[in-house]
Amino acid sequence: MISIGFTSCESDAYFEVPDGESKLFAFSEINTEDLIEVKVNTSIGINTDDRFYFPGQEGANVTLYKDGVPLDNPGFRYISSKAAFVSLGSFRPETNAVYGLHVELTDKTSKIKEIYAETSIPVKDTLSNVLIEKIDESHIRVSCGFKNLENEYFMLIPKFKSYQGAFLRTEISDIENTNVSLRSIINENKLLISKAELEEDLIFEVTSDEVLTGNLLDIELRSITKEAYKYYEKYSLEVVSQSISVSEPIIRQTNFENGLGLFTGYAKSSASFLIN
């Protein structure tokens, strides 16, 4: 009989992994009605609002450009309660100008690169073909037409509110147009819409745990840029991928040079409907 013995030798292996290149992240959506806010971080999570996971980057310089010229008027200040740089001036963006956003760390020894992006504000569109149907006391079906609107990309935000003006819990429960079902922004009361993908009117359902009769349905329409559409599209896919054990990696969309995030303009309009 021949006996053969096998032995194995195990030992720890050590190796160095080079540090990845850190990048600035900035997020800002500008319009003609609100003060400008710019959120800045050096590391980000999955959401556009990461103040819970990563505190805002206070030590940064934020500069706004109009048609290539830096503006002093906005007067950006870091507001800790908003974890953002906020323009406290009277400046409001215009729809016929190109705006640039430049962000850099105040620490000049940092190896993190400064970032820059440009955007403009689309012209305002208004929904003119909206049909509201009450299914029951807490359930509404909405039909909206987009073919006659000027812009190509939109965000639609429905909200129930009381007659006194207090907002009620609102949830998008169904989208009948299957070709836009993946365009709903997960966990948020928003619909992302590409007009080219709509073969007919958009039909969706919204619900609430409140009795809706006698209250209002507000529908905010945002005309957005192509860059914003792509950003939120990837964001929605990224959220979905978190619930799947095996999925393809999602590459974040950004319009910043050397950085991450989004700088974009939008125009908004709204309409209110009494539920009876």
170: confidence class by pLDDT, cuts 50, 70, 90: very high
**Residues of the chain with pLDDT > 70: what percent?**
79
Residue entry with tokens 């190796």: 15
Region 26-37 average pLDDT: 94
115 Cβ contact partners less than 8 Å away, ≥ 6 residues apart: 23, 24, 26, 102, 103, 104, 256, 257, 258, 259, 261
DSSP per-residue letters across the chain: -----------------PPPPP--EEEEEE-SSS--EEEEESS--SSS--TTTS----SEEEEEEETTEEESTT-EEEETTTTEEEE-SS----TTSEEEEEEEES-TT--SPPEEEEEEPPPP-----EEEEEEETTEEEEEE--TT-S-SEEEEEEEEE-TTS-EE--EEEEES-GGGGGGB-TTSS-EEEEGGG-SS-EEEEEE-SS--TTSEEEEEEEEE-HHHHHHHHHHHHHHHHTT-SS----PPP---BTSEEEEEE-EEEEEEEE--
181: confidence class by pLDDT, cuts 50, 70, 90: very low
pLDDT at 7 exceeding the cut of 60: no
Region 88-115 average pLDDT: 91
pLDDT at 249 exceeding the cut of 70: no
What does the CA dihedral 132, 136, 138, 142 come to, rounded to 10 degrees? -20
Instruction: Check: pTM over 0.85? Answer yes or no.
Output: no
Amino acid sitting at position 42: T
Residue 1 is predicted with a pLDDT of: 46
**Residues of the chain with pLDDT > 90: what percent?**
54
90: confidence class by pLDDT, cuts 50, 70, 90: confident
Region 252-257 average pLDDT: 90
Region 12-16 average pLDDT: 65
Residue 220 is predicted with a pLDDT of: 95
Residue 185 is predicted with a pLDDT of: 62
